[in-house]
Chains A and B, each alone.
Chain A
Amino acid sequence: MSGAWYMAGIVACVAGVIAGIRLMNSPRTAVLGNITGACALGFGVVLTLFHEGVATNLLVLGALLLAGILGGMLAYAVKTIHMPQTVALLNGLGGAASALVGLAILIGVDVVAVAERGASALALMVGAVTFSGSLTAAGKLSGLLPQQPVQVRRYRLYSTVLAVVLLGAALLLACNVGAQTVAPVALVVALGLGVLFAIRIGGADMPIAISLLNSMSGISAAIAGFAVNSLLLVAVGAIVGAAGFILTRIMCGAMNRSLRVVLAGATTTNARAATVEPDTAPTSDTVPSKPEKPDPVTLLREAETVVIVPGYGMAQAQAQMQVKQLADMLQERDTPVRFAIHPVAGRMPGHMHVLLAEVDVSYDLLFEMDAINDDFSSTDLVLVVGANDVVNPAASTAEDTPIYGMPILRAGEARHVIVCNLDDKPGYAGVPNTLYEQDNVVLMEGDAAETLKTLIAKLTDA
Chain B
Amino acid sequence: MHMLLLVVALVIATAVGYKLLRAVPPMLHTPLMSGMNALSGVTLVAALAIAGAFTMGRYLGAMAIVLAGINIVGGFLVTHRMLKMFKKHRGEDNS
Contact = CB atoms under 8 A, between A and B. Distances in A.
B33 A48 contact: no
The residue among A100, A107, A232, A241 with the most chain B CB atoms within 10 A of its own CB is A100
Interface residues of B, number: 85
Nearest to A59: B62
Contact of A54 (B17, B27, B52): B52
B74 A101 contact: no
A229 interface: yes
Contacts of A231: 1, 5-6, 9
Interface residues of A, number: 113
B57 A17 contact: no
A132 interface: no
A211 interface: yes
Contact of B50 (A37, A86, A101): A101
A103 B60 contact: yes
Nearest to B44: A45
B67 to A, nearest CB: 4
Given A103-B60, A349-B26, A71 B72 contact: yes
A360 B89 contact: yes
A72 B68 contact: no
Nearest to A97: B68
A17 B21 CA distance: 12
Given A21-B21, A30-B28, A34-B80, A97 B37 contact: no
A236 B30 CA distance: 19
Given A25-B23, A240-B40, A244-B36, A94 B54 contact: no
Contacts of B78: 74-75, 78, 83, 86-87, 90
B9 A235 contact: yes
Interface in A51-98: 52-54, 57, 59-60, 62-64, 66-68, 70-72, 74-76, 78, 80, 83, 86-87, 90-91, 93-98
Given A25-B20, A100-B47, 4 more contacts: A225-B46, A234-B13, A238-B14, A366-B27
